[in-house]
Structure 1
Amino acid sequence: MTTTQAPATHAPTGTRRRGSLEPYLYLLPHAALFFMFTVYPIGYGLYISLHRWDLLNNTQTFVGTEFFRNLFTSGTPQFEFFWRTLWNTTFFTLVSVPLLVAAALGLAALLHRPIFGRTFFRAVFFMPGILTVSVMGILWRWMFDNQIGLVNAARDLMTGAPPIAWLSTEGLAWVPIVVGTVWWTVGFNMTLYLAAMSNIPHSLYEAAALDGATGGQQFRFITWPMLTPITLFVVITTALASFQLFGQSLVITNGGPTRSTQSVIQYITEEGFTNSQISSAAAMGFVFGLMMLVLTAAQFRLMARDVQSTEEK
């Protein structure tokens, strides 16, 4: 018995071509905006960094990597101030990130419990995050003012001690910046941790309680391992945000005293718009951007390994 096979049908050529192009048409708006606001500015910034850019001159002289070499040549102002402000920014990041992660995790652990008024307290800790950096900076500058600040007034009231020059003393000037930043941004990380904690199955805690595990043991062996992925996200985003320090140091201390709290982005802005060295500022921006890419890749690699090992367990 023979069977006849139905002839294969082929879609019209126009239909196939339209079907193959359709996904790209959906991507076209995003691709156009991406090239317009990301690729083109990066390419144009690289072009500026390779020329001696003068806004009052129509002819821009090509100088190659001169402005990049200045950043790695000892004795140039760019070398001195760029690396000094980069260290300032790194110091701020090393201090603020652990505080922001630990404070957010602690607040989330407290407010995840069914306590009275927890919704109110969640809102209280989150609300500072809606303030602009200028409002936040003015508030904490006043709090730590050398003469009339609330902190010095409280010290005088309680101990009669003389006022401390917080804003004009190297080292101490970081205190209002760090404390103000933690107060300003801890609510966002707290909300992320609260959302992650709500997704942990309650049956794990019930089983641990039946086995006699204490609250601390439950946090150590259940909560903390289950929070590893969100901790990865919090650490990376907080570190990147800390390296972008600008408004806090500008408003609270204006980078002083003697540039001890000036951030690298603040110095790049000064170089470009105050000193009118646009090409030098563009070169600094590229070097700093590459450092951030390397830092992000390293953080993902190290912490993703921890996430994978936790999932395997």
Structure 2
Amino acid sequence: MSLSVPGEAARPREARRRRGGREGSALTPYLYLLPFLALFLVFVVYPVGYGLFVSMHRWDLLAETRPFVGLEYYRNLFDPETPQSQFFWNSMKNTGFFTLVSVPLLIGTSLGLALLLHRPIFGRAFFRSVFFLPGILTVSVMGILWRWMFDNQIGLVNAVRTDLLGMQPLPFLSTEGLAWVPIIVGTVWWTIGFNMTLYLAGLGNISQSYYEAAEIDGATPWAKFRFITWPLLAPVTLFVFVTTVLASFQLFGQTLVITAGGPNRSTQSTIQYITEEAFSNNQFSSASAMAFLFGLVMLIFTYLQFRIMARDARGEN
């Protein structure tokens, strides 16, 4: 006859309950992630996969069949004889020029404003609000405003030139090269407040003890900025630089409203041309191929940015 210890039979059941409780708690985080996963699959994974499928077929909304063509539309983008290649790479050049000019302006000007408005000056909160408020405007409102400012005939800029300075009006909106002036100036005015706010937050996290020690050592204002402020703002600068470059690559609304991509497609951005190819020319397959190639360029550029800026932030060679 076997002897059993009281409570021994209950131990396996208790152990199973504990294991079940641990298993349930392990699944709990994934249950919280399910809503995001569902939205991610529906609004990101599915559109990307469907766009790739469209780019590899001759897609016509009115046709009964959509034959598979493989990489034909991608090859067209590298064939100089095709209009898609000419217009696409021209728009890439325009977007690159805008990014190359606007990003240093947006970073340098926002940092300068942050340094000025970080000081305890009279009306500091008011001036911060003034520089931040344009960012709440929609791109259409901003574009209409700056299109009027630089209008060839009735614009405020030309009115000042003729009435106050006695100079001839300049055809900003119809001259290649000059057409970039309202686009770049308007973009800097529109978005500088966001970067300024980020730099203000970064400046607020720098301990004043560093500056006090530097003053004791007789450091000049430039030395304090070079050896204290700028190195400690490296993480903020990395974030500002990456987000500003990505936003500049996505140039669309400013050129569409201010210049409509003209004159002679000299200000047409890449996204603007992709939109035209898809919805004006009804070439959805070609537009999808352009979008994927443009996205690949942005991914590569962003990766290189992170590598270079993160290395500089760590002080590596």
Match of 2:124 among 95, 118, 130: 118
Distance (Å, rounded) in 2 between the aligned partners of 1:192 and 1:21: 37
Match of 2:63 among 48, 57, 64: 57
1:22 CA drift (Å): 2.0
Q: Which structure has the larger Rg over C-alpha atoms?
A: 2
1:11 CA drift (Å): 3.8
Matching residue of 1:219:
225
Matching residue of 1:27:
33
Q: Does 1:82 align with 2:88?
A: yes
Match of 2:260 among 247, 254, 259: 254
Q: Does 1:160 align with 2:174?
A: no
1:102 CA drift (Å): 0.3
| Paired residue secondary structure (2:114) | helix
Distance (Å, rounded) in 2 between the aligned partners of 1:22 and 1:126: 41
1:29 CA drift (Å): 1.1
AA aligned to 1:10 is: A
Distance (Å, rounded) in 1 between the aligned partners of 2:20 and 2:66: 49
Comparing 253-262 with 216-225, which one deviates more in the overlay? 216-225
Map 1:68-107; keep pairs closer than 5 Å. 68-107=74-113
Distance (Å, rounded) in 2 between the aligned partners of 1:68 and 1:212: 61
AA aligned to 2:192 is: V
Matching residue of 1:3:
none
Distance (Å, rounded) in 2 between the aligned partners of 1:136 and 1:130: 10
Map 1:1-313; keep pairs closer than 5 Å. 10-12=15-17, 14-309=20-315
| Paired residue secondary structure (2:265) | coil
Distance (Å, rounded) in 2 between the aligned partners of 1:275 and 1:76: 15
Structure 1: 5+ residue stretches without partners = 1-5
Distance (Å, rounded) in 1 between the aligned partners of 2:293 and 2:312: 29
1:16 CA drift (Å): 4.2
Distance (Å, rounded) in 2 between the aligned partners of 1:210 and 1:14: 64
| Paired residue secondary structure (1:10) | helix
Distance (Å, rounded) in 1 between the aligned partners of 2:47 and 2:165: 55
Structure 2: 5+ residue stretches without partners = 1-7
| Paired residue secondary structure (1:52) | coil
1:19 CA drift (Å): 3.0
| Paired residue secondary structure (2:23) | helix
Distance (Å, rounded) in 2 between the aligned partners of 1:264 and 1:40: 23
Distance (Å, rounded) in 1 between the aligned partners of 2:224 and 2:16: 61
Comparing 59-68 with 101-110, which one deviates more in the overlay? 59-68
Distance (Å, rounded) in 2 between the aligned partners of 1:291 and 1:256: 24
Q: CA RMSD of the aligned region, Å? A: 1.6
Distance (Å, rounded) in 1 between the aligned partners of 2:21 and 2:206: 48
| Paired residue secondary structure (2:173) | coil
Distance (Å, rounded) in 2 between the aligned partners of 1:143 and 1:33: 42
For normalisation by structure 2, the TM-score amounts to 0.94
Comparing 207-216 with 16-25, which one deviates more in the overlay? 16-25
1:202 CA drift (Å): 0.6
| Paired residue secondary structure (1:55) | coil
AA aligned to 2:57 is: H
Q: Deviations over 1:230-271 (max 9, x none)?
A: 000001000000000000000000000000000000000000
Distance (Å, rounded) in 2 between the aligned partners of 1:254 and 1:305: 40
AA aligned to 2:139 is: V
AA aligned to 2:260 is: N
